[in-house]
Amino acid sequence: MKDNIKMQQDFTEYLNREVLSSVDWAKLGKIKYIKELLKQITDKFCEIYDANELEYDMEFVLVPALIRVCESGDLYAGIVQLDLTSSGEHYGTDFFTRYGVMNIDNEQLTEKELRYVRSLHPYDYFPTVQYPDDIHVDWSRCPKEVWDIIDYCRGNAHEQSGGLELT
């Protein structure tokens, strides 16, 4: 098995090289597109990590997740940064938005972008790979629409996909 640092590098390289360069940012408001994008990212995560469930020995990890804004209920594809050695301590979230990938901690955001990303807080995140030890995810508050997407990304849905065309 590869070491964790190598797996992180491979996953980050995949995101930068294959996902970010081909996302149709205008379609990120469409649930079907978000669902297919997260499925594609989740499948690659599982391939790189050779697992569909997170374990504490993976240490720090970037995990695909469905993000749900608490106030509006809007859904976003995202990547959450977790420390698995501490019950999944959450260190940050990258939101895939129609304006690009945004993180509230990015010091290079314009004031307008910062206002926008602040409007996405507070939020709940739901990893698309299984992590039963994460005490920060309240699955009892997970709406059916979110469950459907998570199940699909985990391969639990019976729906067939023709794949995602990002361009």
Q: Each residue of 16-64: pLDDT tens digit? A: 999 999 999 999 999 999 999 999 999 999 999 988 887 767 778 899 9
Q: Considering the entire predicted model, what is its pTM?
A: 0.87
Cis? peptide before 122, omega within 30° of 0? yes
pLDDT for the residue 140: 84
> Could you give the strand order of the β-sheet that contains 89-97, starting from the edge strand earlier in sequence?
100-102, 89-97, 75-83, 60-69, 123-127
